[in-house]
């Protein structure tokens, strides 16, 4: 089991960030089709969660020494509507040690 609080924090914020993105999309549609306008509130909630995700993503990338492929994948997942849920699942596997460890580049 990988003991990294940075990965754990990123995993904990990825699910709510993904959910807030979906809710923001729903609120955007409702704003255009009804008189219900929760976009300012959901926009703020999603914005805060996204900023936390990015901060924790940077911290996890530095502590875990991920290769570019894994680091970029986890960022791309944060900007896709359901990507936060896939990121959470991937990070859960990493915490359990089920993912292959990142190889260190060979010293020249």
Express each pLDDT in 94-105 by its tens digit: 888 877 655 555
| Higher pLDDT among residues 101 and 50, named by residue | 50
Instruction: Give the model confidence (pLDDT) of 64-93 as tens digits.
Output: 899 999 999 999 999 998 899 999 999 998
pLDDT at 55: 95
Which single residue is written with the structure tokens 């911290």? Answer: 59
Q: pTM to 2 decimals?
A: 0.82
Cβ atoms of 87 and 74 closer than 8 Å: yes
Q: What are phi and psi of 78, to 5 degrees?
A: -75, -20
Reported for 84-89, long-range contacts at CB under 8 A and 24+ positions apart, including other chains, are 84/14, 84/15, 84/16, 84/17, 84/18, 84/19, 84/21, 84/53, 85/14, 85/15, 85/18, 87/10, 87/11, 87/14, 87/18, 88/11, 88/14, 88/15, 88/18
Domains contained in the chain, number = 1
pLDDT of amino acid 98 = 77
Note the pLDDT of residue 100: 65
For residue 57, tell me if it sits in a domain: yes
Please report whether residue 91 resides in a domain. Answer: yes
Whether pLDDT at 18 is above 90: yes
Q: Of 44, 9, 8, which Cα lies nearest the Cα of 23?
A: 44
The answer to the question of residue 104 being in a domain is: no
In a domain, 108, yes or no: no
Residue 21 domain-assigned? yes
The residue segments making up the domain with residue 33 are 5-96
101 occurs within a structural domain: no
């Amino acid at each position: 089991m990988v003991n990294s609080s940075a990965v754990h924090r990123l995993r904990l914020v990825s699910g709510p960030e993904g959910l807030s993105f979906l809710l923001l999309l729903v609120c955007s549609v409702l704003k255009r089709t009804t008189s219900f306008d929760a976009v300012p509130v959901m926009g703020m909630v999603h914005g805060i969660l996204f900023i936390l995700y990015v901060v924790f993503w940077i911290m996890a990338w530095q502590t875990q020494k991920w290769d570019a492929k894994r680091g970029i994948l986890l960022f791309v997942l944060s900007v896709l509507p359901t990507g936060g849920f896939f990121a959470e699942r991937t990070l859960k596997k990493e915490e359990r040690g089920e993912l292959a460890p990142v190889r260190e580049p060979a010293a020249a």
